[in-house]
Amino acid sequence: MTVGSVVVLGGRSEIGVEVATRLAAGRPVVLAARRRGDLAAESAAVAAAGATDVHTVEFDADRLTDHARAMSEIAELGPIDTVVLAFGILGDQQRAETDAQHAVNIVHTDYVAQISVLTHLAQLLRAQGSGRIVVFSSVAGVRVRRANYVYGSAKAGLDGFASGLGDALHGTGVSLLLVRPGFVVGRMTEGMTPAPLSSTPDQVADAVVRALGKGRARVWVPGLLRPVFFGMRMLPQAIWRRMPR
C-alpha cells in the first residue's frame, strides 16, 4: 500500500516543520513555500526525522491565481495523508489602524488566501477519498480583542470557515483538525512579551499530532485555554476592550 505524504503549506513555518518531523517517519514530505530553493534547513530536518523523500514546491499563499497549479503539482507527487496550513502573518496592529492596505494585507493572507487553499484542497482530497487537513485558528479569533482586532478578525473568519468545512467533509473520508493556540513564542512573536499560558512551536506540534492520532476535530493549545475563554466570553465589553493582546 502506498503511504501518503505530509504536506506543509508554508514550508518555513516553525510549527509546520515541527509537525512534519513528528509525522515524517516512513513517509514522503512536501514543503511548499516561496523560494523553494531556500528550504535546505527545513528539508534536512524532515529527512533526519525519517522522511522517505523530501520534495519542495513553489507556493506563494498571497497569489490566489497560482493555488490551483501548486495543489496540482503537489497531487502529482502521489497520495496525500496530511496537509498542514502553516502560513500566516501577525502584522502590525497599530499600523493597520491607519494604513488600510496593511489591514487588508493581514486579512488577505490570514483569511482570504486560506479560504482559497482550503477550497482547492477539499476538492482534491474528496476526489482522493481520504486525507487530513490541519488549520491553525487562534484564541485571538474566539472573541476579538481591541488590542489585535485586525489579526483577530481574520482568525475569527477562518475559524468559522474551517468549522463549516469540517462539517461539510463529514462522511467523505476527509477530516479537518482546527487548532486554537494561544500566544506562541517563536519567530512571529519575537520581541513581544509572552502572554499567560503561552506555548512553543514544539508544544503546539505535540498537541496537533496527539489530536490527529485521536481523530479529534478541535484542539486548544494549551488545553486550559478552553475553559479560560469560555469564562472570558462572559466579561462585560467595558472590561474586554481593555484586555491586552
pLDDT digits (tens, 9 = 90+) for 71-93: 999 999 999 999 999 999 999 99
Residue (of 188, 95, 229) closest to 150 by Cα position: 95
The total of other beta-carbon atoms located within 10 Å of residue 144's CB is 17
Grade residue 164 by pLDDT with cuts at 50, 70 and 90: very high
Question: How big is the CA angle at 188 (ends 184 and 190), to the nearest 5 degrees?
Answer: 85
Q: Is the pLDDT of residue 54 over 90?
A: yes
Q: Which of 2-6, 137-141, 158-162, 232-236 has the lowest mean pLDDT?
A: 232-236
Rounded-to-integer distance, Cα 88 and Cα 71, Å: 18
Residue whose grid cell is 463549516: 164
Catalytic residue among 151, 161, 183, 220: 151
Find out whether 136 and 154 touch, Cβ atoms under 8 Å.
no
Grade residue 185 by pLDDT with cuts at 50, 70 and 90: confident
What's the distance, CA 6 to chain centroid? 14
pLDDT of residue 199: 84
Find out whether 83 and 134 touch, Cβ atoms under 8 Å.
yes
111 catalytic per annotation: no
Average pLDDT, the chain: 92
Rounded-to-integer distance, Cα 225 and Cα 57, Å: 35
The string of pLDDT tens digits covering residues 137-156 is 998 898 888 989 999 999 99
Grade residue 245 by pLDDT with cuts at 50, 70 and 90: low
Rounded-to-integer distance, Cα 88 and Cα 111, Å: 9
- On the 0-12 / 13-18 / 19+ scale of CB atoms within 10 A, 77 is middle
